[in-house]
Chain A
Amino acid sequence: MGHDGAPKIPGQGPRTVVWLGELTTYWRLRLRSLAMAGPPLLWLTLLLAVPCLLLGCLAFASRGQYGEIVFQATAVNLKRLIGYTTFGWSPAFLYIMARSLWVALVTTVLCVALAYPLTFHIATRPPKKRVYWLILLIIPFWTNVVIRAYAWLLILGPQMPPAKIAAVLGLIGDGASLYPGPLAVYLGMVSTFLPFMALPLYASVERINWEILEAAKDLYGSRYMIFMQAVLPQTKPGLYVGIIVTFVPSMAMFVVTDILGGAKTMLIGNLIQQQFAQARDWPFGAALSAALMLLTLMSLAVFRWRRRDGNGGGSSIFGGFD
C-alpha cells in the first residue's frame, strides 16, 4: 500500500490528490508524514546507521599506548585480522572466524534436525493438547540466555549424573566436569536457538496439506522422497526464516561460548567483547565487528540467492513474520 499512486483529480492542478478519502496536496501529505516519521527516523539514523558506518571507519584507526584511539588511516588492524602481526603470520583470528561460521552451521543443522520432528509432533496433536505444546515451545523463546547458559554449568558439573556417566564410560577423568568444551557449547547453542527455529517452522508445518503426503505414500515414495518432494516444498517459507534467525545470531554469539566454552571454543563475538571490555583496543574491535558484519551480509546474500534458486517467494527476508 502507500505508494501505489492516488488518483489525480483532473482540472485541480498536478499536485492535488485524493488520499485515503482526503482532498489534499502531495506536499501537505509529505510534510504531515515527515512530522511523524522524522524524529524516529533521525533517531535510528543518528544512533544506528551512522555508528555502524563509523565502526567501519574506526577499523582503519589504531590503538594508542594507553588504549586511546589514534585517528590516522592505517591498515594495521586489517592486516592483524588476516594474521599479520609484528611477530609474523599466525592464522589464529582467521581460525576463529572460520570456527564462528562452522559453529553457526552445526547449530543450525542440529536445530533443523530437531525442529522438524518437534513441529510435526505438535501439529499432529489434537487441538486442545496442541495449545499446551505451543505454550511449552514459546516459553523457552523468552528464557534469558545468561540464565540458560549458566544452568548448563549446573547440569554438566562434576557431581551431576551426565558427568558421572561420562566418567564411568572413561570419556572424562573422575571428578571432572563436562565443561568447558564443544559438547557444552553445542548444548547451550541448540537449547538457545531451537525455539527460534521451531516457531517459524511451526507456522509452515501447521498449514501443511497432509493429503499431499498421503498421495506421496500411496505412490510408494520412500521416506526420503516424501520429505524432499512433499514436506520440504510446503515448509520452505518457515524453514528459511528459521535458518536466518538461527544462523545469524549464533555466528555472533558470545554469552554461551563465554560461559560454557574455553579458549578452544572462542568465537568472533568473544573476540569483539575482549577488545572492547578488556583490551580497550576499540579500533581492532571495530575491525572484527566489520568482519562479522561482512560474514552476516554474505550469509544473507547466499541465502537470498539460494532462495531465488528454489521456489521460495516473497519480497523481503522477513516475509514469514507478517
Chain B
Amino acid sequence: MKQKRPLVALIAVFGMVLMYAPSVAVAVFSVNDAIYGLAWRGFTLKWYKFLFQNEYIINAAINTLILATVSTIASTILGTALAIGLYRAPWSPGLHRLFDLVINLPVVVPDIIMAVALALAFNALRMVCSIFDIGMVTLIVSHVTFQISFVTLVVKSRLESLGHDTDEAARDLYASTFFHFRRVTLPLIRPGIIAGGMLAFTLSLDDFIISFFNHGPESVTLPIYVYAAVKRGITPEIHALSTVMLVLTAIPIIIAERLTRKF
C-alpha cells in the first residue's frame, strides 16, 4: 500500500493548512508595521516591545503563570493520592464503578457546564466564607477541579502497567508501609506523576471557558485578555501576544515529542 497517492496527500496538506493558517496569519500580522487595517506596511518588532510595556498584559501573564503553577501543584498531589487510594485498595467492584464515574465526570461533562456548575458552587460557598469571592482563589479552585481527573487517569494507567511484583518483593524484604510508599511506589510512578502534572499545567494555561466564568476583574488571564481585546477591537499588540503564546505552547511539545519518540 506504500504507493504514491496524490489525492490523499493533497487532502492531508489541506488539513494541515486549515490547522496552521490561523497561527501563521497571527504571526505575520504581529510583525506588520500598521496600526489599523491588515495591509502589509513592512516588517517591525515594535509590537513585541509594546507588549512588555503594557502592564495589563504583564499582569495577565503573571496571573496565568501563578494560576497554572499553584493549581498544577495542588492537583498533582490530589490526583496522585486519588489514583493510589483508589486503584491500590480492595474496594468492591460497585464502588470502583462509582469512583470511575466521578473521575470521568470532568472528561465527559462539557467545559461550559462545568464552568457554570463551578460558578454556582462558588455562589453558594460565598455565603459561608468570603474567600470564595470571585478572583484568584476561585480560579485556582476551579482549575484544580478539572485537573485532578486528568492527573488521576495518567497516574492510574502508570500504576496498572507496573504490576505487583516489586511491591511484594519490597514487603518480603520487610519494608514498612511508609518506606514502601516513599522508596518503591513513588519512584516507580514518578514518570506518570510528571506526565500528569505537565498535562495539568498545559490544560490550565490553555483554558478559557472555565476561567471566563470564574474570574474577577483583578484576575484576568491571558486567554481572557485576548478574548476581551477581540470584543473591544484588536490592536497589533494582541497579534504579538498571541504569537508569543503560540510559540510558548509549541516549544514544550516539540521537546517532549523529541524525547519520547525513539526514532
Residues of A within 8 A of B (CB): 1-3, 5-6, 17, 19-22, 26, 29-30, 32-41, 43-52, 54-55, 58, 114-115, 117-118, 120-122, 124, 127-128, 130-131, 134-136, 138-140, 142-155, 157, 159-160, 187, 190-191, 194-195, 198, 210, 213-214, 248-249, 251-252, 254-255, 259, 269, 272-273, 276-277, 282, 285-286, 289, 292-293, 296, 300, 316-318, 321-322
Could you list some 23 contacts between A and B, CB below 8 A? A2-B87, A2-B89, A2-B91, A30-B91, A33-B86, A33-B88, A39-B81, A40-B152, A44-B105, A48-B114, A48-B145, A54-B117, A114-B11, A117-B12, A121-B9, A142-B253, A144-B242, A147-B26, A155-B21, A157-B38, A190-B18, A255-B208, A318-B104
Tell me which residues across on chain A come within 8 A of B121, comparing CB atoms.
Answer: 46-47, 50-51, 54
Tell me which residues across on chain B come within 8 A of A134, comparing CB atoms.
Answer: 257, 261
Q: Once bound together, how far apart are the Cα atoms of A151 and B20, in whole Å?
A: 10
Q: Once bound together, how far apart are the Cα atoms of A273 and B111, in whole Å?
A: 12
Complex contact B164–A2 (CB within 8 A):
no
Known A-B contacts A40-B78, A41-B82; A159 and B37 likewise in contact (beta carbons under 8 Å)? yes
Complex contact A136–B16 (CB within 8 A):
yes
4 interchain residue pairs of minimum CB distance:
A37-B85, A21-B171, A151-B22, A21-B168
Chain B: interface size category: 35 or more
Complex contact A117–B37 (CB within 8 A):
no
Q: Once bound together, how far apart are the Cα atoms of A44 and B103, in whole Å?
A: 8
Tell me which residues across on chain B come within 8 A of A153, comparing CB atoms.
Answer: 230, 234
Look across to chain B and name the residue whose beta carbon is closest to the beta carbon of A157: B38
Nearest CB of chain A from residue B137's CB, rounded to whole Å: 13
Known A-B contacts A50-B121, A318-B107; A254 and B112 likewise in contact (beta carbons under 8 Å)? yes
Nearest CB of chain B from residue A300's CB, rounded to whole Å: 7
Among B20, B92, B167, point to the contact of A3 (Cβ < 8 A): B92
Complex contact B110–A248 (CB within 8 A):
yes
Nearest CB of chain A from residue B113's CB, rounded to whole Å: 5
Among A20, A40, A292, point to the contact of B112 (Cβ < 8 A): A292
Residue of A51, A140, A195, A293 with most chain B CB atoms under a 10 A cut-off: A51
Known A-B contacts A249-B110, A300-B108; A155 and B164 likewise in contact (beta carbons under 8 Å)? no
Tell me which residues across on chain A come within 8 A of B85, comparing CB atoms.
Answer: 33-38, 40
Nearest CB of chain B from residue A133's CB, rounded to whole Å: 8
Look across to chain A and name the residue whose beta carbon is closest to the beta carbon of B11: A117
Q: Could you tell me which residues of chain B, from 42 to 64, have a CB within 8 Å of some CB in chain A?
A: none
Q: Could you tell me which residues of chain B, from 139 to 191, have a CB within 8 Å of some CB in chain A?
A: 141-142, 144-145, 148-149, 152-153, 157, 159-160, 164, 167-172, 177, 180
Chain B 209-234 near chain A by CB (<8 Å), digits 1 or 0:
10001000000000100110010001
Known A-B contacts A2-B91, A51-B117, A194-B18; A249 and B111 likewise in contact (beta carbons under 8 Å)? yes
Complex contact A147–B81 (CB within 8 A):
no
Complex contact B15–A114 (CB within 8 A):
yes
Complex contact A54–B167 (CB within 8 A):
no
Tell me which residues across on chain B come within 8 A of A292, comparing CB atoms.
Answer: 110, 112-113
Q: Once bound together, how far apart are the Cα atoms of A51 and B257, in whole Å?
A: 38
Complex contact A210–B89 (CB within 8 A):
no
A48-B105, A135-B253 given; 8 more Cβ-contact pairs under 8 Å: A20-B171, A33-B86, A43-B148, A114-B18, A121-B8, A190-B18, A213-B1, A254-B112
Look across to chain B and name the residue whose beta carbon is closest to the beta carbon of A252: B110
Nearest CB of chain A from residue B31's CB, rounded to whole Å: 13
Chain B 1-26 near chain A by CB (<8 Å), digits 1 or 0:
11001011101101110111111011
Known A-B contacts A22-B171, A45-B102, A296-B108; A124 and B1 likewise in contact (beta carbons under 8 Å)? yes
Q: Once bound together, how far apart are the Cα atoms of A2 and B238, in whole Å?
A: 51
Residue of B2, B113, B119, B167 with most chain A CB atoms under a 10 A cut-off: B113
Complex contact A3–B93 (CB within 8 A):
yes
Look across to chain A and name the residue whose beta carbon is closest to the beta carbon of B7: A117
Q: Once bound together, how far apart are the Cα atoms of A35 and B82, in whole Å?
A: 10
Nearest CB of chain A from residue B188's CB, rounded to whole Å: 12
Tell me which residues across on chain B come within 8 A of A131, comparing CB atoms.
Answer: 257-258, 261, 263
Q: Once bound together, how far apart are the Cα atoms of A150 and B141, in whole Å?
A: 28
Complex contact B226–A248 (CB within 8 A):
no
Complex contact A194–B257 (CB within 8 A):
no
Among A47, A198, A321, point to the contact of B141 (Cβ < 8 A): A47
Complex contact B88–A2 (CB within 8 A):
yes
Among A120, A154, A214, A255, point to the contact of B209 (Cβ < 8 A): A255
Tell me which residues across on chain A come within 8 A of B29, comparing CB atoms.
Answer: 154
Residue of A38, A135, A157 with most chain B CB atoms under a 10 A cut-off: A135
Tell me which residues across on chain B come within 8 A of A47, comparing CB atoms.
Answer: 118, 121, 141-142, 145
Nearest CB of chain A from residue B196's CB, rounded to whole Å: 13
Tell me which residues across on chain A come within 8 A of B90, comparing CB atoms.
Answer: 2-3, 5-6, 17, 19, 26, 29-30
Complex contact B105–A49 (CB within 8 A):
yes
Q: Once bound together, how far apart are the Cα atoms of A134 and B104, in whole Å?
A: 27
Complex contact A144–B108 (CB within 8 A):
no
Residue of A20, A130, A159 with most chain B CB atoms under a 10 A cut-off: A20
Q: Once bound together, how far apart are the Cα atoms of A186 and B250, in whole Å?
A: 25
Look across to chain A and name the residue whose beta carbon is closest to the beta carbon of B172: A21
Tell me which residues across on chain A come within 8 A of B18, comparing CB atoms.
Answer: 114, 187, 190-191, 194
Complex contact B12–A118 (CB within 8 A):
yes
